[in-house]
Amino acid sequence: MLLDVEESQLLLVDYQVRLMPSIFEHELVLANALRLARLADALQVPVWGTAQSPDELGPNVPELQAAIEQAGGRVMNKQSFSAVSDGISEWLRPPVRKVTQGGNARSLPKHLQKPVAPAEEEGRNIILIAGCEAHVCLLQTALDLLEEEFDVWVVTDACSSRSERNRDAAFDRLAGNGAELVTTEMVAFEWLRTADHEMFKRVQSLIK
């Protein structure tokens, strides 16, 4: 299955100023996170961020924070390692709307009217997720999103941990639990699908 840009959302986890210097390949990881945020902005994909215990680890790197805000996104400050525990699912799901019956149905006697259950609006169920540390906050958030029946795609070249071994262990576990593993360029070209796309040149410039 290829990524569908109209079904996608992007979640960027904990690229914080006091954490990033200790992260394996942190410069490459942050550069790809920025690319993802800018790609999402160009293609009108919703962007969200998180920051773990910002009083201790600081805010997100300013350039990435600005890119999230440029895309119209928000950042959740959290204490739990899994952002789901702090309510990120409520940001990712649309509100529930109630479907009411038409006038004819309401004119029937009450005992003949069929009850109508609330219906959930269609939303963007594909979550592209990337962040740090891969084996802690990213892993726990992704696993909880899978439990909540989101389709989770992990952008591997925008993720890392303090050690390569912990990062790779996280990828193995996520793949084993049903997450798709992709790269930033895979995301870009699957969102575009064709070189005829009106945003092709802009996207191409972002990934070069």
Please give the pLDDT value at position 206: 87
CA 22 and chain centroid, separation? 23
3-state secondary structure of 134: helix
Nearest to 36 by CA among 194, 190, 170: 190
Please give the pLDDT value at position 202: 86
Q: How does pLDDT run along the chain (208 residues), one tens digit per residue?
A: 899 999 999 999 999 999 999 999 999 999 999 999 999 999 999 999 999 999 999 999 999 999 999 999 999 999 999 999 999 999 998 654 444 444 444 444 544 554 444 444 468 999 999 999 999 999 999 999 999 999 999 999 999 999 999 999 999 999 999 999 999 999 999 999 998 888 888 888 888 8
Distances (CA, A) of 30 to 11, 71, 101, 107, 164: 14, 17, 50, 60, 16
Nearest to 36 by CA among 24, 47, 52, 51: 47
* Amino acid letter, 171: F
Place of tokens 């996207």: 203
Please give the pLDDT value at position 123: 81
Give tens-digit pLDDT for 55-114: 999 999 999 999 999 999 999 999 999 999 999 999 998 654 444 444 444 444 544 554
Distance, CA of 199 to CA of 42 (rounded, Å): 7
- Classify 5-94+121-207 by CATH class: alpha beta
Please give the pLDDT value at position 117: 42
CA 31 and chain centroid, separation? 17
CB atoms closer than 10 angstroms to residue 83: 30
Distance, CA of 94 to CA of 121 (rounded, Å): 6
Distances (CA, A) of 198 to 5, 43, 45, 202: 14, 10, 15, 9
Distance, CA of 83 to CA of 68 (rounded, Å): 17
Dihedral pair phi/psi, residue 114, rounded to 5°: -85, 130
* Cis before 120 (ω within 30): no
CB atoms closer than 10 angstroms to residue 207: 14
